[in-house]
Amino acid sequence: MSPQANLKPSLDENFQACLKTLESLLAEMTEIRRHLHQYPELSHQEVETPKLIAEYYRKLGLEVRTEVGGRGVVATFRVPDPVKTIAFRADFDALPIQDEKDVPYKSKNPGVSHACGHDGHTAALLGFAKSLVENKDRIRHDVVLIHQFGEELYPGGAKAMISDGCLEGVDAIYGCHLQSMLPSGRMYYREGYIQAAVDTFEITVKGKGGHGAVPHEAVDPIVVASHIVTALQTIVSRSTDPLEQLVVSVGSIHAGDANNVIPGEAVMTGTIRSYAPETRKTAREKLVKIASSVADALDAHAEVELESGYDALWNHPEETKIVKKAMVNLFAEEDVLETSPVMPGEDFSYYTQHVPGSFFFTGARPEGEAYPHHHAKFDFDETAMLNTAKTFMAILHQY
């Protein structure tokens, strides 16, 4: 595990003071994170978590709006004659996964756990907010603190919170995701696309059932589905520019329940991940055409249902330069890296469609064995929360 970065002597006194305050708050951030970890709440079912967040901000004396877009919380830190209004966002929902870690802060809610680090995002933003209040005479900007519900489950909470005015008057927005598989102490930025657009599909193949011993008297939907799965691979290999990123994956096929019966129907589900809007459009159109045409050729019928998920997340160039400069001011040169784009989706994408912004990653690999996001044993190095909060502060300092 990499040590925390040493403060650089070139940083001005006000900024140094803010960072030292943040360092003193790591224990409190950890306590908050562990409490949230023990009492996780599923997407769009969050009740106690937003209450905790709102109460924390009220005790700090900040303006607080609750039930923003549904279950969101927005707090505002204000200064006299602000130069800018900068927003920072954290998500707070959990996943339907049983927590299998052997730790004192293990989830107490059966079948639910913070297996993606959203508890850490929340604690880091709360710590950042408290450092603003304790250094209010050193801050020159208004800060909007956005705590979002429902990120893990489409339609997410971002769109609803935006519609409810969470970005009103905001000049730029920033967010972060802790990464359990990236080295702790390292920070990652990227200009342009950083996370993919997400679409899901369900293809129902309707054939003609029959006895497995006389397949010529039936239309086997399993065989048809198998041909469709193979043909779908040509969307990536033959219908898409090889320089464009695209994934088309079938994740499940369900058909029949007996070894000597040809079922009448097969249902397959899957996902499409892409970045460029034109690539996304092409993949969706080709999927429908291939499924229908292959089924028709084999005397079956295919019905396709497509559901659009989150759009691809685009980081604006100027705001990403600010993120990079903020990181360079805090961390050693070798610990500030450009990340490759990743395929998981993230509804932070909608914020940057409305105001300029940038989303970055914080390395948070724990000591010992590390597990990926959405794993039953997921955990992270809690000092990564401090690195995230410091980066927020450094971003604010750039303005």
Q: Mind telling me the catalytic residues? A: 93, 151
176 is in an annotated binding site: no
DSSP SS3 for 374: coil
What DSSP designation does 206 have? E
CB 157 within 8 A of CB 150: yes
Tell me how far apart the alpha carbons of residues 78 and 72 are, in angstroms, rounded to a whole number.
20
Examine residue 242 and say whether the peptide bond preceding it is cis (omega within 30 degrees of 0): no
Considering only CA atoms, which of 228, 227, 271 is closest in space to residue 251? 271
285 is in an annotated binding site: no
User: Can you read off the two tokens belonging to residue 23?
Assistant: 């360092």
166 is in an annotated binding site: no
Neighbours of 12 (CB within 10 A): 9
265 is in an annotated binding site: no
Q: At what angle do helices 13-24 and 383-398 cross, to 10 degrees?
A: 160
Tell me how far apart the alpha carbons of residues 142 and 47 are, in angstroms, rounded to a whole number.
28
Tell me how far apart the alpha carbons of residues 225 and 253 are, in angstroms, rounded to a whole number.
8
Distances (CA, A) of 332 to 23, 183, 328: 18, 14, 7
User: Can you read off the two tokens belonging to residue 336?
Assistant: 């500030």
| Cα 221–chain centre separation | 36
374 is in an annotated binding site: yes
Tell me how far apart the alpha carbons of residues 70 and 242 are, in angstroms, rounded to a whole number.
41
Tell me how far apart the alpha carbons of residues 226 and 381 are, in angstroms, rounded to a whole number.
43
83 contact partners, CB below 8 Å, separation of at least 6? 140, 141, 399
Annotated binding site for Mn(2+): 116, 118, 152, 177, 374
